[in-house]
Homo-oligomer: A and B are copies of this chain.
Amino acid sequence: MANSKFEYVKGFEQATDWVLLPSTYVVIRVDGKGFTKFSDAHGFEKPNDKRALDLMNECAKAVLREFPVLLGYGESDEFSFVLHKDATLFGRRASKIISTITSCFTGNYVRLWPQFLPDTPLQYTPVFDGRAVCYPSLKVLRDYLAWRQADTHINNQYNTCYWCLVKAGKSPAEAQATIKGTDTSFKNELLFSQFGINYAQLPEQFRKGSTVLKRPVRAVVKYREDGTPVERDRVQEVVLHCDIIGDAFWQEHQQLLGLAD
């Protein structure tokens, strides 16, 4: 059964084998598909389920181990991964990059689920989508990440108000009507006066999202016979819940990340 007479079909692949522009930062954003339903089906705590967020972070760490990703930023059911502008992963072929990172994230989500939600059996298989966007300069990349982190804050403040009201007995429609179109200070006041919540003291993980990066650490790798530890330089994925909009984060990490125009 000669295969050569069918091989011409391979030629059709070229038309959809898109290449990402060199010398641009590539952001791969992975996003839960239908996660409102998924979080209901698995009884996620509202407005934030720390177990589910920690699971997301662990999946992000796996992506950083597996791929040459500089940085991940996540909130809710989404995670953005940044490839260095000089990254040559898969010859910058878009489908390969998008699909493998989304696959790695999903596979880890399912695999690590029992560690993070041990009492909640997975009802069905979650699905994530992925996309790639190119950002030609560090400035635009930082604006992208600022866009996501500002979104985290806006959503979290809204959701905190909403779920306080609903848990206090309001209907969803009433809760929505109370907060719709209100500004930040109104929501802070509402949380404080009605529910005794100081928004600024809520966990930073909820307010700032999670930034995942690789950091050199001095780690104990074994012990000598006399009990003294043997240390080595290692690279470790760490999760931070800090501001990434201002300059401080970038001044601290820019060199480490090799991020410069």
Determine if B100 and A129 form an interchain contact, defined as CB atoms under 8 angstroms apart: yes
A236 at the interface (CB under 8 A from B): no
Q: How many residues of A contact B (CB 8 A)?
A: 70
| Given A1-B153, A131-B16: A11 in contact with B6 (beta carbons within 8 A) | no
A41 contacts which chain B residues (CB < 8 A)?
A: none
Least CB distance from A10 to B in Å reads 8
Least CB distance from A32 to B in Å reads 10
A107 contacts which chain B residues (CB < 8 A)?
A: 106-107, 109-110, 125-127
Least CB distance from A187 to B in Å reads 12
Q: Report the nearest B residue to A10, measured CB to CB.
A: B147
- For this chain, the copies found in one complex come to 4
Can you sample 26 A-B contacts with CB below 8 Å? A1-B150, A1-B153, A1-B184, A3-B154, A6-B150, A12-B22, A12-B133, A12-B144, A16-B133, A18-B18, A21-B134, A23-B137, A33-B103, A66-B127, A85-B136, A95-B98, A95-B130, A95-B131, A95-B132, A99-B128, A100-B127, A102-B103, A107-B107, A111-B122, A136-B136, A137-B261
